[in-house]
A and B are shown apart, each in its own frame.
Chain A
Amino acid sequence: MSVIIPYGVSFSHMSGNILSTGKSQIVAPLLVLAVQRYPSDPYFYADVIINDAIIGSRYWMVKNADHSEILATGLITSSPQVVLDVPSYGSSMIILLRLRNASDTSKYKTYEALTPHTQNGTSFYCSQQRDD
Chain B
Amino acid sequence: MDINWATKMITIYKTDSFISLISGTLYEMDTDAFRLLLKDKEDDENGIVFSDTHKHNTQVTIAGITYAETIQIINGYSITFKDGQYSVRLRGSNNNIFDVENQILNQNQVQVIPGNAAGLIIKTGGESNDGWTTTERKQIRDALGITGLKTTAVDGQLQTNFISISEQIKRILGLSQENYRLFNPEYDSDDNLLSITIRIYPTANDCINDSNMLSEYAVTASYVDKKLNTYKVLKA
- A residues sitting closer than 8 Å to B (CB atoms) are 57-58, 60, 70, 73, 98, 100-103, 107, 109-110, 131-132
Contact = CB atoms under 8 A, between A and B. Distances in A.
A131 B45 contact: no
B43 interface: yes
Contacts of A132: 58
Contact of B36 (A57, A101, A102): A102
Interface of B: 36, 39-40, 42-45, 47-49, 52, 56, 58
Contacts of A57: 43
A60 B40 contact: no
A110 B36 contact: no
A59 B60 CA distance: 30
A86 to B, nearest CB: 16
A60 B49 contact: yes
Contacts of A101: 43
Nearest to B51: A110
The 9 closest A-B pairs by CB, nearest first: A100-B43, A102-B39, A60-B48, A102-B43, A58-B43, A102-B40, A58-B48, A110-B52, A103-B40
Given A100-B42, A101-B43, 16 more contacts: A57-B43, A58-B44, A58-B45, A58-B48, A60-B48, A60-B49, A70-B49, A73-B45, A73-B48, A100-B39, A102-B40, A102-B42, A102-B43, A110-B42, A131-B39, A132-B58
